[in-house]
Chain A
């Protein structure tokens, strides 16, 4: 058992932290308040190299291992970067670009990955539908081969980056009678006739990320836009879960270091009854709980990243344990951080209010806590 990180990994995390505190975090409150995607912050993320961190150099990446990607994501959270931007990064890099990188043909990789790694293009992934969330096999979007093209029809909802994406990886049924084995993935570019963006949702948290409906009405894409093998879509979607449970969860770990720092500083500065509130045991109790959650969550996330770096087949049980813990056990300490800030914590001027709302997504996005419990209970 060894929790040591290499000096390169630690140094890189420090660089990301420094960059994020200077270039991204100061923009967070405004983009959250406006509920608008921050294209300038996105450009800076791309320029720094975050968006394509783990891709090969020839595709515009830095060939980072999973642990380094996790540390970078953790640093972004720790810096207080807007979670909407981080969600956009996760959906873009791991759910869209990585799926093309892992399953794409050489031509597909060459065409899309460099543009996505640099941030020139924004990517999204479309899986969820009005009647198919966790129950993926219930999806209704169809893809039919006609005259050397795939023709897509259907609706996708809650698609992160949907309204701003240049390219989308879309899952659709190519054989409705085959259940999970009848699902395939397709690359659909913005501007393809028959592909449009429907409504966008206003959300409790991660407000600056764009969450949209995607509509496909006789949307024809070239035959070569099939991603991976026909009928392998479900397996491909499940592979993205590996990232869901590690890099996509990692910012949450950093967020709790951010909340801990914010809460400690506030408790030392804020005076009541003639002394800093840090002197009251009830306040110190909350600070301790933030630290305890942070330490427990961190090791779980690192374990998943380590497994992936070792090339081990992902242990879905441990991945689900990590997601469940971060999703459900984060609620109390995030609530404690807000309460510690009193009335200020309830106001947008203090960023714990934003973070409190953002953390709530952890138990919902990427498979609800109930789905994690279902996965775990079936594997016992």
Chain B
């Protein structure tokens, strides 16, 4: 047992810290930027992070998860929006390719590791009442496939170079890798979201998009890849929530020490000081649970998936509660548009509904527990 980072983990963490040292204003500006400016900032961040080794961490090697978590904390605290843009590229897209490991994967993974590509993963779609199941369909044609369908809420779609699209092939799940500028690909207008306004999200329409066989993964009948994707998403959203909660905690403490009422700093009042104590307790609990979930996943432990979902539910709900308490402490200042706490209050909602929502994750956790006790 060891509750400290190893020297190797600290080296990577410090390299990542150096990327963000003094860069806060640039990343704060993301929140009001247009898609072009966001794309430029994300490209710059990816190139800088590539030099630290961050982008290749845990690409297929679960054993690197604790090191990844040590570094993710730094990025997630620096900018919530940037963190999700980077993780969608490196962990969701990169992780999916590395996990599926088709023969041609390295053609994309190599530039991804060098920070040369921005990627998205298109999963969500509306379910049809008449025909349940995947609505985005692949049809086999000579030398490849044709894809038709519509995806909603695709993170990075407006700025991505490549996209992984989940499709149905003869009623089996599969994944098609497409270029964002391929014929038949229409990236919808950028969606206006409550939070994460420095992140680009849009719908995606695919009309007779040709995908060569060497950009197609599947069919994938056993569901392992989908499970792996959900766990990676859970890890990313856990870290996003912990990072956000840490940002909010630091902002609230700093304000409570600086802001004075009745002749003394408001942190001296129990109503404020005790709220900060609760916030710290929640942040540390979520952080440790995230570490433990990552460590179990790195070991391939049988309980890893259950604990990862626990961590995601706990961290995302913690972030929401922490945001509400932090805003209460900053009061009017925190309520102003653009304030870090106001932004965090809006951002915090996302992780509880993204990926496997809290409701779905709780049902999965319970199912896994009940299986253990079924006679």
Contacts and interface: CB of A to CB of B under 8 A. Distances in A.
Interface in A1-40: 1-5
- A265, A318, A380 — which one has the most chain B CB atoms within 10 A of its CB? A380
B43 to A, nearest CB: 31
Contacts of A328: 278
Contacts of A91: none
B175 interface: no
A5 B292 CA distance: 13
Contacts of B270: 373-374, 377
Contacts of A300: 284-285, 288
Contact of A4 (B1, B69, B291): B1
Interface stretch (A55-63, A202-210, A222-230, A279-287): A279-287
Given A1-B9, A268-B374, A288 B369 contact: yes
Interface in B168-195: none
A378 B280 CA distance: 12
Nearest to B303: A295
Contacts of B104: none
A165 interface: no
Interface of chain A, main secondary structure: helix
Nearest to B317: A292
Interface string B290-307: 011011100000000011
Contact of A321 (B6, B9, B284, B374): B284
A212 interface: no
Contacts of A299: 285, 288-289, 291-292
A103 interface: no
Given A1-B66, A1-B70, A380 B280 contact: yes
B61 interface: no
Contacts of A373: 270, 273-274, 277-278
A163 to B, nearest CB: 35
A297 B286 CA distance: 10
Contact of A303 (B3, B307, B370): B3
Interface string A282-316: 00110111011001111110110011000000000
Contacts of A5: 1
A372 interface: yes
B45 interface: no
Interface in A202-244: none
Interface string B257-296: 1000000000100100110111011001110110110111
A87 interface: no
Contacts of A289: 362
B365 A377 contact: no
Given A1-B5, A2-B295, A306-B2, A291 B369 contact: yes
- B270, B277, B311 — which one has the most chain A CB atoms within 10 A of its CB? B277
A138 interface: no
Using C-beta atoms within 8 Å of the partner chain, give the interface range for chain B. 35 or more
Given A300-B284, A373-B273, A377-B270, A288 B1 contact: no
A321 B314 contact: no
A49 to B, nearest CB: 22
A78 to B, nearest CB: 14
Interface string B303-343: 00011001101100000000000000000000000000000
A296 B288 contact: yes
Contacts of B9: 1
A325 to B, nearest CB: 5
Contact of A264 (B69, B280, B285, B372): B372
A1 B5 CA distance: 5
Nearest to B274: A373
A299 B286 CA distance: 10
A278 interface: yes
Contacts of B5: 1
A159 interface: no
B281 A324 contact: yes
Given A264-B372, A268-B374, A299-B288, A288 B277 contact: no
A53 interface: no
Contacts of B257: 380
A318 B292 contact: no
Given A1-B295, A288-B365, A299-B289, A306 B253 contact: no
B363 interface: yes
B29 interface: no
A307 B369 CA distance: 31
A376 interface: yes
A1 B4 contact: yes
A238 to B, nearest CB: 19
Contact of B370 (A278, A321, A377, A380): A278
B1 A372 contact: no
Contacts of B294: 1
B207 interface: no
Nearest to A307: B3
B366 interface: yes
Nearest to A292: B310
Contact of A325 (B2, B285, B373): B285
Contacts of A3: 1, 291-292, 295-296
Nearest to B307: A295
Contacts of A297: 285
A321 B280 contact: yes
A288 B362 CA distance: 5
A261 B295 CA distance: 24
B285 A296 contact: yes
B291 A267 contact: no
A278 to B, nearest CB: 5
B2 A2 contact: yes
Given A303-B3, A380-B276, 8 more contacts: A2-B1, A260-B369, A268-B373, A268-B375, A288-B363, A295-B314, A302-B1, A378-B273
Question: Which 8 A-B residue pairings sit nearest by Cβ, starting from the closest?
Answer: A377-B273, A284-B366, A376-B277, A288-B362, A373-B277, A299-B288, A264-B373, A288-B365
